[in-house]
């Protein structure tokens, strides 16, 4: 199924780049319900829908909606399903998209549920790896906030389908949750854990960096202890493989030195563009416009 989404995205890429015009989703309406900030997920879903001739509606700010009067997520979903053909939900609670899907007769797409998962980001991450490096048997380091970073939670399960070798790089306070490590081991995936990026930089095809998720720390002092624990610099990259690709779901704060943007390793801006064809593929398949 993932391969089918990635292959479909590749076919739709000329439309995503504005080189071809499409009316594949004409008459369809997508509803965006974002209870947390977003630039890329929200706007790439909007762009994907518009490029395919569909329309987008938006809850707008939570404060300006009836949620501010105490309306529940379940009731909001029951109403919104009458207005749209599909819903994208971003919400601070883990499991919220799954719960919402139980109240909706139209598809609900998880646009990020708290520190849980971010599956559509994973599809675009896999697409990026396949375009910029190679997916099958890739040696990949996931670095940064692996505890609260939902993108890496979803990504490592998907990578397990492609025989990846995964090295988890983080301070001990931000390690990948133990249940995910156990799941990967059960799936026979080679997993290593370290707190030293220097140790692994020369040995990987892809370095996937994540932001320290300040908003998820219960105690601000705990955040400050680890806020600068990872920095990717051109000096560090002197020891990298020439073909190393550096990815980041963005936004970036301090974890990648801006000088890295000008190296051939950086591919995070192309990665954020790939969100458009991948989400076009997903919407076309979910809405039944493509098989």
Binding interface with ligand CP (CB under 6 A): 38-41, 112, 121, 249-251
Shortest distance, position 214 Cβ to ligand CP, whole Å: 13
The least distance separating ligand CP from the CB of residue 272, rounded to whole angstroms, comes to 7
Write down the least CB distance from residue 114 to ligand CP, Å. Answer: 13
Q: Which is nearer to ligand CP, 200 or 232 (CB)?
A: 232
Q: Which is nearer to ligand CP, 276 or 289 (CB)?
A: 276
The residue among 54 and 119 lying less far from ligand CP, judged by its C-beta, is 119
User: What gap in Å lies between CA 191 and CA 91, rounded to an integer?
Assistant: 30
Characterise 272 by phi-psi region: left (phi > 0), alpha (psi -120 to 50), beta (else). alpha
Q: CA 79 to CA 152: how far, in whole Å?
A: 32
Burial 111-136 (b: 16+ CB within 10 A, else e): bbbbbbbbbbbbbbbbbbbbbbbebe
Q: How far is the CB of 156 from ligand CP (least distance, A)?
A: 16
Judged by beta carbon, residue 41 or residue 170, the one nearer ligand CP is 41
Minimum Å gap between C-beta 150 and ligand CP is 8
Report d(CA 253, CA 88) in Å as an integer: 26
Identify which of residues 76 and 122 has a Cβ nearer to ligand CP in the complex: 122
Q: Partners of 108 in the beta sheet?
A: 87
Facing residues of 202 across strands?
none
DSSP 157-185: HHHGGGT-EEEEE--GGGPPPHHHHHHHH
């Amino acid at each position: 199924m993932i391969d089918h989404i990635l292959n479909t995205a590749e076919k739709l890429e000329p439309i995503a780049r504005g080189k071809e015009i499409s009316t594949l989703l004409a008459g369809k309406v997508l509803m965006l319900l974002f209870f947390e900030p977003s630039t890329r997920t929200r706007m790439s879903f909007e762009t994907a829908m518009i490029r395919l001739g569909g329309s987008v509606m938006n809850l707008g700010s939570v404060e300006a909606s009836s949620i501010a009067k105490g309306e529940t997520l379940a009731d909001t979903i029951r109403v919104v399903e009458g207005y749209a053909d599909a819903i994208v939900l971003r919400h601070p609670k883990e499991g919220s998209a799954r719960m919402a899907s139980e109240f909706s007769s139209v598809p609900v797409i998880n646009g990020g549920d708290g520190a849980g998962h971010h599956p559509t980001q994973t599809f675009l991450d896999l697409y990026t790896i396949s375009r910029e490096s190679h997916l099958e048997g890739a040696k990949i380091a996931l670095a940064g906030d692996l505890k609260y970073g939902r993108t890496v939670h979803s990504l490592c399960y998907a990578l397990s389908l492609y025989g990846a070798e995964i090295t988890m790089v983080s301070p001990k306070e931000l390690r990948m949750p133990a249940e995910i490590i156990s799941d990967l081991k059960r799936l026979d995936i080679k997993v290593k854990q370290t707190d030293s990026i220097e140790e692994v930089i020369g040995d990987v095809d892809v370095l996937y960096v994540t932001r320290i998720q300040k908003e998820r720390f219960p105690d601000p002092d705990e955040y400050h202890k680890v806020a600068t624990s990872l920095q990717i610099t051109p000096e560090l990259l002197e020891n990298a493989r020439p073909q190393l690709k550096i990815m980041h779901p963005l936004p970036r704060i301090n974890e990648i030195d801006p000088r890295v943007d000008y190296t051939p390793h950086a591919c995070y801006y192309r990665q954020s563009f790939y969100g458009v064809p991948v989400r076009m593929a997903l919407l076309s398949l979910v809405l039944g416009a493509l098989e």
